[in-house]
């Protein structure tokens, strides 16, 4: 398989360790590219809902493959998010070619680009964490239900539906939250003298120019690997949104595999 050469790829909101994570699709995408740099922009491992009883082999394969990419020369930046915030105490640490950060600045073709997850702009995360965690648990159950519904629907020739998207786009407050999030992100980037800002967190991919005073800030969001299956790619001084084509992989159905976490920890003599 010929891999696409990519200068930089960005993924976020993978939520490994949850039922909604589309690990097989993500692994297929990662195997299709050869990036010089890979930015993991938060919520890669869902520590909020972490459980030894559910960490399937398909999820562990993603972890192993990212480590393999790093060992083969890809520079990997792991930026912490709210679901993996426990890692923030280790910010600045290096694990070979993997660097753990809270935010990242890169100069891309002469443009100062700021990467961060974006949960700092979420009131529920910052001031009512119990509510955010409850919402995360409910979202995981909703995705689990949605996966089962789609499995049954496709068996009878129906189409896939997204319950959470339908809810998000029908609630005015949700639309307003996204707009406020984008405005907060570009304003922060403007304060940091950056012309481009790259976020995750809200699970909604985007690539747009937003005016801040007399300047225009390029706002990008990498989406997620639960529903949208999107990534950001930078090549030849251009940003693009990558949309995974689901027909390229076997039908997705709920996974109830035995956890592979214990086996992985034994490999590193941690269990």
User: Tens digit of pLDDT per residue, the chain (271 long)?
Assistant: 689 999 999 999 999 998 889 999 999 999 999 999 999 999 999 886 666 667 899 999 999 999 999 999 999 999 999 888 888 888 888 888 899 999 999 999 999 999 999 988 754 444 344 344 445 555 565 565 666 566 566 667 776 666 565 555 554 455 567 888 899 999 999 999 999 999 999 999 999 999 999 999 999 999 999 989 999 999 999 999 999 986 544 444 444 444 555 554 555 454 4
User: Under a CB-based contact definition with an 8 Å cutoff, are residues 203 and 228 in contact?
Assistant: yes
Query: Cα Rg for the chain, rounded, in angstroms?
Result: 18
Domain residues of the chain, as ranges?
4-267
What number of CA atoms fall less than 13 Å from residue 142's CA on the CB side? 16
Determine the Cα–Cα distance for residues 116 and 114; give it in Å rounded to an integer: 7
Task: Give dist(CA 221, CA 51) in Å, integer.
Answer: 28
- Please tell me the pTM assigned to this model: 0.76
CATH 3.60.21.10 fits 4-267, yes or no: yes
């Amino acid at each position: 398989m010929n891999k696409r050469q990519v200068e930089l790829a960005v993924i976020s909101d993978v939520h490994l360790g949850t039922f909604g994570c589309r690990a097989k699709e993500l692994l297929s995408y990662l195997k299709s590219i050869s990036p010089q740099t890979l930015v993991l922009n938060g919520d890669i491992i869902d520590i909020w809902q972490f459980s030894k009883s559910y960490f399937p082999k398909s999820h562990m394969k993603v972890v192993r493959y990212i480590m393999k990419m790093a060992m083969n020369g890809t520079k990997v930046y792991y930026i912490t998010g709210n679901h993996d915030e426990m890692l923030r105490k280790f910010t600045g640490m290096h694990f070979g070619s993997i660097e753990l950060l809270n935010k990242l600045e890169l100069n891309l073709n002469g443009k100062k680009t700021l990467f961060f997850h974006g949960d700092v702009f979420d009131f529920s995360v910052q001031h009512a964490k119990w509510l955010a965690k409850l919402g995360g648990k409910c979202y995981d159950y909703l995705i689990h239900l949605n996966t089962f519904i789609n499995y049954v629907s496709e068996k009878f020739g129906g189409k896939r539906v997204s319950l959470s998207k339908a809810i998000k786009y029908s609630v005015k407050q949700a639309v307003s939250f996204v707009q406020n999030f984008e405005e907060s992100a570009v304003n922060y980037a403007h304060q940091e003298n950056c012309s481009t800002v790259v976020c995750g967190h809200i699970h909604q991919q985007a690539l747009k120019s937003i005016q801040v005073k007399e300047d225009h800030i390029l706002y990008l969001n990498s989406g997620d690997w639960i529903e949208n299956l999107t990534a950001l790619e930078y090549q030849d001084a251009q940003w693009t949104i990558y949309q995974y084509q689901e027909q390229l992989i076997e039908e997705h159905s709920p996974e109830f595999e035995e956890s592979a976490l214990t086996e992985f920890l034994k490999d590193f003599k941690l269990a």
